[in-house]
């Protein structure tokens, strides 16, 4: 696998940055709406899209001045598979009804004007970690919106984590947890 350099620029002194773990929200939305069998008029499944878009809109309403970036896992293998070929080998493939919602969701996110990132060969949590470390360097107040407890190690004086229940955790909150 070739290494790709991804360039990004943090906006000069934005009020706040929100890094949404889109993949975590996507799976949560899919499994929390699957019993409702949400579809459009043509029978196309929409539950996962509905859940993620609602989460984005809720964050936008809660933090109207923030720069919000929805970050998703790239499909296929990543650098961890090179290190450990059995990485996630025992996971069953995602349901087809979930997979078919992914590309349309990306299009909706872009059409709504949200920032979007999906880096080939890199998982969303690695992108989130990189961006949050850059934000810390620039003393940029950042919220990681994710239920992934591994991301809590990134919490510091400038980076907080908003869990799936809406709890905003600072460093002391993470230590207590």
Question: Structural domain boundaries of the chain?
Answer: 17-176
Query: Which of 15, 97, 83 is CA-nearest to residue 50?
Result: 97
Superfamily for domain range 17-176: 5'-nuclease (3.40.50.1010)
pLDDT average, residue stretch 72-87: 70
**pLDDT tens digits, one per residue of 87-119:** 565 678 889 999 999 999 999 999 999 999 999
54/48 Cα distance (integer angstroms): 10
* CA dist., res. 45 & res. 42, Å (int): 9
pTM comes to 0.85
155 near 171, Cβ under 8 Å? yes
Q: At what angle do helices 22-33 and 124-137 cross, to 10 degrees?
A: 130
Note the pLDDT tens digit of each residue in 10-52: 444 456 899 999 999 999 999 999 999 999 999 999 999 999 9
């Amino acid at each position: 696998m070739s290494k790709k350099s991804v360039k990004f620029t943090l906006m000069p002194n934005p009020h706040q940055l929100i890094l949404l773990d889109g993949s975590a929200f996507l799976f949560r939305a899919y499994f929390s709406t699957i019993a409702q069998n949400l579809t459009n008029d043509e029978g196309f499944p929409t539950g996962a899209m509905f859940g993620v878009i609602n989460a984005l809109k809720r964050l936008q309403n809660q933090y109207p001045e923030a720069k919000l970036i929805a970050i998703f896992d790239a499909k296929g293998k990543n650098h961890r598979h090179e290190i450990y070929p059995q990485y996630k080998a025992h996971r069953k493939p995602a349901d087809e009804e979930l997979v078919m919602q992914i590309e349309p969701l990306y299009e909706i996110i872009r059409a709504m004007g949200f920032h979007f990132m999906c880096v080939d060969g890199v998982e969303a949590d690695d992108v989130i970690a990189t961006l949050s470390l850059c934000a810390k360097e620039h003393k940029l107040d950042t919220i990681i919106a994710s239920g992934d407890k591994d991301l809590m190690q990134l919490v510091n004086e400038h980076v907080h984590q908003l869990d799936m229940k809406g709890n905003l955790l600072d460093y002391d909150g993470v230590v207590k947890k």
